[in-house]
Chain A
Amino acid sequence: DIQLTQSPSFLSASVGDRVTITCRASQGISNYLAWYQQKPGKAPKLLIYAASTLQGGVPSRFSGSGSGTEFILTISSLQPEDFATYYCQQLNSYPWTFGQGTKVEIQ
């Protein structure tokens, strides 16, 4: 199975901060990576797929980059509604797997 390791697992930030979350894969997955945002009590929401393609309706302050084994989710200017947990997911090969999550909290 392909393991995804996110870092950090937890981060504290302020409104307006630039935030980056890293997702490392245990083997190369090309760009078959998606990012999701989950707020408490809600279903996850797709933010980015194919490592860097923004899902329709997602604000442009979110961006993704990377290929192979290292991927980054960037929030250019953190907004109050962005405080949530973020997950990466690989869809390169079965079994599809998720990272352990990164919780973004208000500083």
Chain B
Amino acid sequence: EVQLVQSGAEVKKPGESLTISCQGSGYSFPNYWIAWVRQMSGKGLEWMGSIYPGDSDTKYSPSFQGQVTISADKSLNTAYLQWTSLKASDTAMYYCARAYSAKYLRFDYWGQGTLVSVSS
């Protein structure tokens, strides 16, 4: 069974650093893109970027380029989303999803989400 399990909720202060994780199981983790998606409270879905764990090829949305870093450790079947200096505006739910492609891409499995709260 394919599963993506994300790390737990985080409460941080502005300026702090943070890394959240997404561990895949039940499939060949290195061979599928992992996407990160932001959802601010009461708002829609925003694609942040994606990584191919097999070779760490990474794509970022221009909206998030330079604001976050996406990485992966294929030996641990885990992808990461990292901030070096959080802002209050980073408060949101963050989802990881597997981007499956057999000709047509789609996000077929999702993690349960990680809630990040940033407040002084």
Contact = CB atoms under 8 A, between A and B. Distances in A.
A46 B106 contact: yes
Contacts of A31: 104
Majority SS at the chain A contact face: loop
Contact of A34 (B103, B107, B111): B107
B107 A95 contact: no
B29 interface: no
Contact of A98 (B46, B62, B103, B110): B46
A74 interface: no
Nearest to A87: B45
Q: Which interface class (under 10, 10 to 19, 20 to 34, 35 or more) fits B? A: 20 to 34
Interface residues of A, number: 25
Nearest to A56: B108
Given A43-B95, A43-B111, A95-B62, A49 B47 contact: no
Given A95-B61, A98-B45, A100-B44, A45 B110 contact: yes
Considering the complex of A and B, which 5 residue pairs feature the smallest CB-CB distances, nearest first? A49-B106, A43-B110, A50-B104, A91-B105, A95-B61
